[in-house]
Amino acid sequence: MNREATGLAGVRHKAYETLGSTNAEALALVRAGERGPLWITALSQSAGRGRRNSTWVSPPGNLYATLLLTEPAAPELAPQLSFVTALALHDAVAACAPQLGPLLKVKWPNDLLLGHAKVAGILIEGEGGPKFSVAVGIGVNCTAHPQVTSYPATDLSSAGALVTPAQLLAALSAAMQSRLLQWQRGQGFFSIRADWLKRAAGLGAAIQVRLPEREFAGRFEGLDDAGRLLVREAGGVTTVTAGEVFGLSPFIPPLKGEGRTAESGSGRGHLSSAAPAMTPTRTASLSDLPLAGGGKEKS
C-alpha cells in the first residue's frame, strides 16, 4: 500500500508502509517511466542496503527515503551528490534538533556522524537510459541503531532528540532543494566542498583508511577538486577515490614527500576521471565510483 502527495518543498512524495528498498523502488519506477523529482519513503525496509551491498538494518521508527532525480548533472558529476546530500542531512538534523548541531559532523565519503558514531548514511545509485536518473538513498537512525557494526552507530533518540521521520523528511526536502541550488548541477561544487570541509570529521587529524588491498594511516588533509580524499603518509599525499575511513590516535605529525593515488576496488585499474557509461539495463552505485573533476595529486 502506498499513497502519493505533494508538500515536501513542492516535491511529490510516495509513502509506503514497507518496501524491500526505497532505492530499488525508485529505480523500478524509472524503468516504468518516472522522471521525478520524487521522494519515496517506507516505514521499514526488508532489504535495505548501503554501500558495497552492505545490509542497512531497517526497523520501524527510522527514516528510509530516496530522492529520485533525472539528469541532475552530467553522469560523471553525479557522485558529487554524496557531498550535497551530506550537507542537506546536516542542515536538516540541526534544524530539527538544534542542541545536537555542535555534535554533527560529515564523514567521507557519505556518512553523518553524531559525536563519534554514525547516525545516517547515503547511497547514490544511477540508472542509464534515454535520460540519466539518480536515486539518492538516505537512512537516518531516529529511534534505533544496529549494535554490531564495523563503525560505531547511534540514533537521535539516544542523544535525547525526539525527532519523527516525518519531521526530519520535511526538513530534509527543504534542505536538499537549497543545497541542490547551491551545487548548480556541478558548477557550484567548489562552494559545496568548502561547506563540507567546515563540517568534516577528523580534518587535520590522524585517520585510518581501509582499502580492499591494504590499510594505511595518515593525516586527513582535505579533498581535491573532485571530492577525492587527500591523506598525507610518510611518502607523500595519497589520493583516495573510494574506501572506508576510521579514526586513529594519537595524532601524526605532518609529513612531506611524493604524492600518489590509491584506487579502491579490484579490477578498476588506473584512476578514472569519469563514471562508467551506463545502459538502460545497468544500475551503478555512484557512491563507489571515481569522482570526476580536475583534482591533482599534491606532494
Domains of the chain plus CATH, in order, are 2-198 (3.30.930.10), 206-266 (2.30.30.100)
pLDDT of residue 242: 86
* Verdict on whether the full-model pTM lies above 0.85: no
- Nearest Cα neighbor of 115 from 160, 56, 176, 82 is 160
φ, ψ of residue 252 to 5 degrees: the values are -105, 130
Query: Does residue 63 have a pLDDT over 60?
Result: yes
pLDDT of residue 243: 87
pLDDT of residue 151: 79
> Would you say 86 and 99 are in contact if contact means Cβ atoms under 8 Å apart?
no
Average pLDDT over residues 37-54: 79
Confidence of residue 214 (pLDDT cuts 50, 70, 90): confident
* Cell numbers for 60: 520501524
> Would you say 67 and 61 are in contact if contact means Cβ atoms under 8 Å apart?
no
Q: How many CB atoms lie within 10 A of CB 174?
A: 18
DSSP string, the chain: -EEEEEEETTEEEEEEEEES-HHHHHHHHHHTT----EEEEEEEESS-B-GGG-B----TTSEEEEEEEESSS-GGGGGGHHHHHHHHHHHHHHHH-GGGGGGEEEETTTEEEETTEEEEEEEEEEE-SSS-EEEEEEEE-SS---SS-SS-B--TGGGT----HHHHHHHHHHHHHHHHHHHGGGTTHHHHHHHHHHTBTTTTSEEEEE-SS-EEEEEEEEE-TTS-EEEEETTEEEEESS-EEEE--S---------EEE--STT--S--SSPPP--TT-EEEGGGSPPPS------
- Give tens-digit pLDDT for 250-266: 333 334 344 454 543 32
pLDDT of residue 107: 95
Supply the mean pLDDT for the chain. Answer: 82
Q: What percent of the chain has pLDDT over 90?
A: 65
- Give tens-digit pLDDT for 80-138: 999 999 999 999 999 999 999 999 999 998 999 999 999 999 999 999 888 999 999 99
Query: Does residue 291 have a pLDDT over 60?
Result: no
Confidence of residue 267 (pLDDT cuts 50, 70, 90): very low
Query: Does residue 48 have a pLDDT over 80?
Result: no
pLDDT of residue 2: 67
- Give tens-digit pLDDT for 155-200: 999 999 999 999 999 999 999 999 999 999 999 999 999 999 999 9
Buried-state track 194-233, b at ≥16 Cβ within 10 A, e below 16 = ebbeebbbbbeebbebebeeeebebbbbbbbebbbbbbbb
Query: Does residue 144 have a pLDDT over 80?
Result: yes
